[in-house]
Amino acid sequence: MIEKVNPAHPDKVADCIAGAIVDLAYELDENPRIAVEVLAGHGVCTIIMETSVKLPRKEISSIVRRIAGNLKVILKVVPQDEFLALNQSEGLRCGDNGIFKGVPLTDEEKALSAIAREIYHDYPYDGKYILDGKKLVICQSNASSAMLQKKYEAAGYETIVNPLGDWTGGTDVDTGATNRKLGSDLGHSVTGGGIHGKDLSKADVSINIYAFLQAQATGKPVELSCAIGDTTVDGKPYAEIVKVAQDYIRQIGGFEKLAEWGLY
């Protein structure tokens, strides 16, 4: 059983705004320290940001308009805590305490990810989907419910489409917040750490990505933990873990791209 949401879901909209802000920070600084929280809905986008990099407010407002439309932006910016900053002053160290798990993707997770992308290609609006064996639940706004029903029943699924009827979706219907759809982002690899709105020094980002990739490569579950300030994880220098995550982020096109669909 697995749930997936698409990039137009309000929670993913918040993730994408946070990811785009982190992308901007990396454009301005090779090694920024940044953490972004976003709450977006009903005409307002509230952003709270701890950052080592001065980001132009005009650029942040532009990011919100591009991703979420004409929302009023309420922005609170503070510098990174001096003690947390000191932790990274002599090289990369784990930026937080945490436990992490990487689990090989199941056929069910791969199937639902493909279905979600297929539906979003045709209907690029707010949507969420559940697959439980052959039971497929599709909640897709601004869509032809009858057409989706027919298509996925023909594909062999016991299909339920928009059980409460057609709907419009988006941030005028629901409020989105960063890192609220971790199951959709990580599948059965989900633990407690959110992967969006943070720079690569944060263990929540780098170790989650590393553990997930290791699990896919080996076909075996991976479990890791760290304490803030650790310089090694899984027997490797933390800088190597960060490099693996950095290469992955670059390969997919940045933090905003990571936010759209998560890790699968």
Q: Are residues 58 and 124 in the same domain?
A: no
- pLDDT confidence of residue 86: 79
Is residue 145, in this structure, part of any structural domain at all? Answer: yes
Tell me how far the alpha carbon of residue 105 is from its chain's centroid. Answer: 17
Q: Using CA atoms, how far apart are residues 168 and 170, in angstroms rounded to an integer?
A: 7
Instruction: Kindly state whether residue 262 falls inside one of the protein's structural domains.
Output: no
Asked if the structure places residue 5 within a domain, the reply is: no
In a domain, 2, yes or no: no
Same domain (yes/no): 76, 127: no
pLDDT of residue 192: 76
- The answer to whether 208 touches 186, Cβ cutoff 8 Å, is yes
Q: Could you tell me how far CA 260 lies from the centroid of its own chain?
A: 6
Task: Tell me the β-bridge partners of 132.
Answer: 135
Are residue 198 and residue 241 in the same domain, yes or no?
Answer: yes
Same domain for 62 and 21: yes
* Amino acid 14: pLDDT: 98
pLDDT score for 82: 82
1, part of any domain: no
Judgement on whether residues 126 and 156 belong to the same structural domain of the protein? yes
Statement to judge: residues 182 and 248 lie in one domain = yes
Residues 146 and 193 in one domain: no
| CATH number of the domain encompassing residue 60 | 3.30.300.10
Does residue 32 sit in the same domain as residue 81?
yes
82 and 112 belong to one structural domain: no
| Position 143 in a domain | yes
Structural Rg of the chain based on CA atoms: 19
154 and 183 co-located in one domain: no
| Nearest partner of 76 among 99, 60, 92, judged by Cα | 60
Identify whether 3 is part of a domain. Answer: no
List the structure tokens of 18: 């946070």
Pair (20, 65) in one structural domain: yes
Among candidate residues 87, 115, 149, the one where a domain is terminated: 87
Residue 228 carries which DSSP code? T
pLDDT at position 224 is 97
DSSP structure class, residue 227: -
Alpha carbons 200 and 210: distance in angstroms, whole number:
11
Measured CA to CA, the distance from residue 182 to residue 5 in angstroms comes to: 10
Neighbours of 202 (CB within 10 A): 23
Whole-number Å distance between alpha carbons of 198 and 69: 23
Residue 216 maps to a domain:
yes
231 CB contacts (<8 Å, ≥6 apart)?
Answer: 91, 92, 93, 94, 237, 238
Residue after which a domain boundary falls, among 23, 54, 87: 87
* Structural domain count, the chain: 3
Q: Looking at residue 30, what is its pLDDT?
A: 94
Q: What is the pLDDT along the chain (264 residues), one digit of tens a residue?
A: 999 999 999 999 999 999 999 999 999 999 999 999 999 999 999 999 999 999 999 999 999 999 999 999 999 999 988 887 777 777 888 988 999 999 999 999 999 999 999 999 999 999 999 999 999 999 999 999 999 999 999 999 999 999 999 999 999 999 999 999 999 999 999 987 899 999 999 999 999 999 999 999 999 999 999 999 999 999 999 999 999 999 999 999 999 999 999 999
Residues spanned by the domain of 72:
10-87
